[in-house]
C-alpha cells in the first residue's frame, strides 16, 4: 500500500493547531490526504482550517466539555478518528522558590490541565473510535495512532548540554512532559492488540512561537539570526511525524523519538521489545 493510499481519507485530530508546530502538522496531514480536525483555544484556528480545507473546533482540551466537543465534531464530520496528535501545550517560568503558594497552584492547573490532563482525556476519548476503525486494518494499513508531542528534556542529554537539559525555573513544564513517558508506554502496551500505535516526538530547539516568546520574555526580540539559523524547522518536524505514521500498523510503538539541533532528523532504529525509553 502506498503512503497516499494509507493516508487518504483517514481522520486526524491535531491540537494546538492555530499556529506553530500544530499548524504545520495540520497542514502536512491535510496535504497527505487526511481529513483534519484543527483544535485550539484561539479563534485563529478557524482561519488555519479554512486555508487547508479542514474542520475547526475552538475548544480547551483541558476541560471535559472541550474534549467532548472535539470528539463529537470528528465523529459527526468524518465518522471517527484514526490519528491523534497531542500537540497543545503551555510553557511558563514556574520557579519553585517563589514562595507564592496560590500562584504555584494556579500555575500547576494551567500547565497540567493542558499538557497532561488534556492529553489523557483526549486520548481516552478517541480510543473507542480508533479500536473500531482499526480492528480490520491489514498489513501496510495505517491503523490507529496517538502521537504525543514532547521535549528533549525527557531524553538523555547530548552534547553540548551533557550535564542535563531540564532548565531551572520550569519544574511544571518539565514534569508535565515527563508524564507523557508514562502515558506513551502504558497506552502502547494496552492498545497494540487493537492495532493502535502510541509514540512521542521529543524535540530540541525548533522555530516556533513558543521558543520565540521565550526570547521575547528575556527582552530579545527578534532572536539573533545566527541563533535562529541553528534551530530545527517546523517542516522538518512535520516530516518526522509523517515518516512515523507511514510505518503503518506494524510499526514501532511505545517509543519517544528525539531530535536534536545539529544532528540529522529522522526515525532511529526501532527499539527491542520491552526496552525502556530512558
Q: Grade residue 230 by pLDDT with cuts at 50, 70 and 90.
A: confident
Q: Has residue 136 got a pLDDT over 90?
A: no
Span 70-103, pLDDT tens digits = 999 999 999 999 999 999 998 887 878 877 889 9
Is 60 exceeded by the pLDDT of residue 276?
A: no
According to the model, what pLDDT value does residue 274 have?
Answer: 54
User: Which residues lie below 8 Å from residue 245, measured CB to CB, with a gap of 6+?
Assistant: 7, 83, 142, 145, 147
| Strands laid side by side in the 35-40 sheet | 55-58, 35-40, 11-15, 83-86, 144-151, 196-203, 256-259
CATH architecture under which domain 3-259 falls: 3-Layer(aba) Sandwich (3.40)
Q: What percent of the chain has pLDDT above 70?
A: 94
* Model confidence pLDDT, tens digit, residues 95-124: 788 778 899 899 999 999 999 999 999 999
- pTM for the whole structure: 0.92
Query: Where in the chain are the domains?
Result: 3-259
Residue 66 pLDDT > 70:
yes
pLDDT grade, residue 165 (50/70/90)? low
Evaluate if residue 278 carries a pLDDT over 50.
no
d(CA 223, CA 14): 28
- Residues with a catalytic annotation lie at 173
Amino acid at each position: 500500500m502506498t503512503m497516499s493510499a494509507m493516508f487518504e481519507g483517514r481522520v486526524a485530530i491535531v491540537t494546538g493547531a492555530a499556529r506553530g508546530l500544530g499548524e504545520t502538522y495540520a497542514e502536512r496531514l491535510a496535504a497527505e490526504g487526511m481529513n483534519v480536525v484543527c483544535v485550539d483555544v484561539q479563534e485563529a484556528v478557524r482561519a488555519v482550517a479554512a486555508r487547508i480545507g479542514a474542520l475547526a473546533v475552538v475548544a480547551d482540551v483541558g476541560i471535559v466539555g472541550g474534549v467532548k466537543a472535539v470528539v463529537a465534531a470528528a465523529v459527526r464530520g468524518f465518522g471517527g478518528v484514526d490519528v491523534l496528535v497531542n500537540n497543545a501545550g503551555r510553557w511558563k517560568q514556574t520557579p519553585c522558590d517563589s514562595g507564592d503558594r496560590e500562584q504555584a497552584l494556579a500555575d500547576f492547573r494551567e500547565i497540567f490541565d493542558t499538557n497532561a490532563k488534556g492529553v489523557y482525556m483526549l486520548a481516552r476519548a478517541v480510543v473507542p473510535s480508533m479500536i473500531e476503525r482499526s480492528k480490520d486494518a491489514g498489513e501496510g494499513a495505517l491503523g490507529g495512532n496517538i502521537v504525543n508531542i514532547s521535549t528533549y528534556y525527557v531524553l538523555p542529554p547530548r552534547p553540548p548540554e551533557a550535564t542535563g537539559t531540564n532548565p531551572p525555573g520550569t519544574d511544571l513544564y518539565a514534569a508535565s512532559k515527563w508524564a507523557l513517558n508514562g502515558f506513551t508506554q502504558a497506552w502502547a502496551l494496552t492498545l497494540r492488540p487493537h492495532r493502535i500505535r502510541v509514540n512521542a516526538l521529543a524535540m530540541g530547539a525548533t522555530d516556533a512561537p513558543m521558543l520565540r516568546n521565550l526570547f521575547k520574555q528575556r527582552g530579545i526580540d527578534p532572536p539573533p539570526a545566527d541563533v535562529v539559523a541553528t534551530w530545527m524547522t517546523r517542516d522538518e518536524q512535520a516530516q518526522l511525524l509523517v515518516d512515523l505514521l507511514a510505518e503503518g500498523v506494524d510499526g514501532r510503538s511505545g517509543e519517544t523519538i528525539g531530535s536534536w539541533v545539529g544532528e540529522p532528523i529522522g526515525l532511529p532504529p526501532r527499539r527491542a521489545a520491552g526496552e525502556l525509553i530512558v
